[in-house]
Amino acid sequence: MIRRAVEITGENRYLRKAQGFLLVCDKEHELGRLPLDDLEVVLVAGRGVTCTGGLMNTLAERCIPLVVCDQRFLPASMLWPVESHTLQSGRIRAQADLSAPLRKRLWQQLVRAKIQGQGDTLRLCTGQTSPRLARLAGAVRSGDPGNAEGEAARVYWPLLFGPDFRRDRMRAGVNALLNYGYTILRSAVARAVMLAGLHPAFGLHHHNLRDTMPLVDDLIEPFRPVVDLLAHALAAEADGVPVLTAEAKECLTRVTTVDMTHEGMASPVSECLLRMTRSLAEVCEGRKRRLVLPEGVRVKTAEPKP
């Protein structure tokens, strides 16, 4: 089953659980109900939203992140369950004990998959290929000491969005679309980490002291090109500078349903995330040496208009 992200907008919404459903209400009326079994993440972007303790407990039990966003649609906080997996304690200890050489090799795999995904997105969106991106993907070394990831970004962004584009989290337009899509994706990665019994604080490469989820920010990298693909489709449809409208948000919330190639077959991002985090858990336990990663973006499934 493909789960979906849900955004709560508007002012003074009231969220509660009722017989397997998430109910969204205003002061007097029920506005809608969503099956809890269908939810990937609940994104709160409205002002004055109230959420009952019973609903928050249920979301935590089901490993469904509840994300509160700031005015730029960047995550400000996330509800994280204390327990999420029967083998969690042992896996977290094994995760914390990963050797530095192994962490570097895993980061190498993630960076290579990301650059390959960027090449696929570029081809699907513009019809052109980049031999330089292909060379960079093949040249990534353990730990990426040469910063192939950064060099690939300098090649990729101008080719995808034009020579004047700069990736800046504080800017509007395409950058706002990317911010929102990455927020949805980051929450889905966090959920997959929970379900695998891993802890987000023990990363492979990211180590910012203010980052509480460096592992999530490591594992999101191969999947970012899917958000880029959706953002490009929206920008192409826009008359002038793209705006983060309700329709654009709806399109971006479908990021977990876009197909990627996995072992020669099409699998949605949500399934690829689960396979990746399960494989990382097996690496931590010494049963594998490589992550199970997608080989690239499979098809362009973005539908910018409702």
Per-residue pLDDT tens for 170-226? 888 999 999 999 999 998 998 888 888 888 889 999 887 677 889 999 999 999 999
Task: Specify the pLDDT at position 101.
Answer: 97
- pLDDT of 262 higher than 90: no
- 3-class SS string, the chain: CCCEEEEECCECCEEEEECCEEEEECCCCEEEEEEHHHEEEEEECCECCEECHHHHHHHHHCCCCEEEECCCCCEEEEECCCCCCCCHHHHHHHHHCCCHHHHHHHHHHHHHHHHHHHHHHHHHHHCCCCHHHHHHHHHCCCCCCCCHHHHHHHHHHHHHHCCCCCCCCCCCCHHHHHHHHHHHHHHHHHHHHHHCCCCCCCCCCCCCCCCCCHHHHHHCHHHHHHHHHHHHHHHHHCCCCCCCCHHHHHHHHHHHHCEEEECCEEEEHHHHHHHHHHHHHHHHCCCCCCCCCCCEECCCCCCCCC
Mean pLDDT of 257-286: 91
Residue range 85-132, pLDDT digits in tens: 556 678 889 999 999 999 999 999 999 999 999 999 999 999 999 999
Domains plus CATH for the chain? Answer: 4-79 (3.100.10.20), 88-297 (1.20.120.920)
Which is higher by pLDDT, 284 or 241? 284
* Global confidence as pTM: 0.81
Residue range 32-61, pLDDT digits in tens: 999 999 888 888 888 889 999 999 999 988
Q: What is the percentage of the chain residues whose pLDDT exceeds 90?
A: 62
- pLDDT of 303 higher than 90: no
